[in-house]
Amino acid sequence: MLMSIGISAQTFTLKSKDLGGQFKAKQYANSFGCNGDGESPQLSWENAPAGTESFALTVYDPDAPTGSGFWHWVVYNIPSGTTELKTDAGNANGKKLPKNAIQALNDGGAMGYMGPCPPPGPAHRYIITVYALKTKLELDKNAGCALIGFNIKANVLAQASIIVYGQR
């Protein structure tokens, strides 16, 4: 006799209305030889696990020729009831972010989102990840992306990612 038990759990999922498989001109940087609009994409998530106290979001290029990748955007302490960051939420002034969310300096040395601008050559992967965290992060406002990433990983309940490509 064959018996099967079905268990169905909703998966923590990240989506974007603004992104497909590749960045559009409006999301590219307006620096380092690129002339995009530097507009962060709309991002939304669903099915966060029970116990989520805050979210963090990162945009990371592991293919950057730096030896350590390149952090394009890091936001943390996004309130637990949040399910979306609207288009251009990564603006340096932070006015489009949910209250109490904190943006870090990106690896270009500026506050907020810095769009992709890879050197000419093969496409780069940009890993966009939202993390459901079991706490809010208590960090100095000048904490670097690597330290923030360490604290995110130490407190993660679940994570969801999408990969977008960029090329010049």
Count Cβ neighbours within 10 Å for each residue of 32-66 and write b for 16 or more, e otherwise. eebebebbbbbbebeebeeebebbbbbbbbebbee
Is the predicted pLDDT of residue 41 greater than 70, yes or no?
A: yes
148: three-class secondary structure by DSSP:
helix
Is the predicted pLDDT of residue 125 greater than 70, yes or no?
A: yes
> 13-166, superfamily in CATH?
PEBP-like (3.90.280.10)
Average pLDDT over residues 80-92: 97
Is the predicted pLDDT of residue 31 greater than 90, yes or no?
A: no
Q: How far apart are CA 111 and CA 163, in angstroms?
A: 22
Angle at 94 between CA 51 and CA 168, to 5 degrees: 100
DSSP state of 97: S
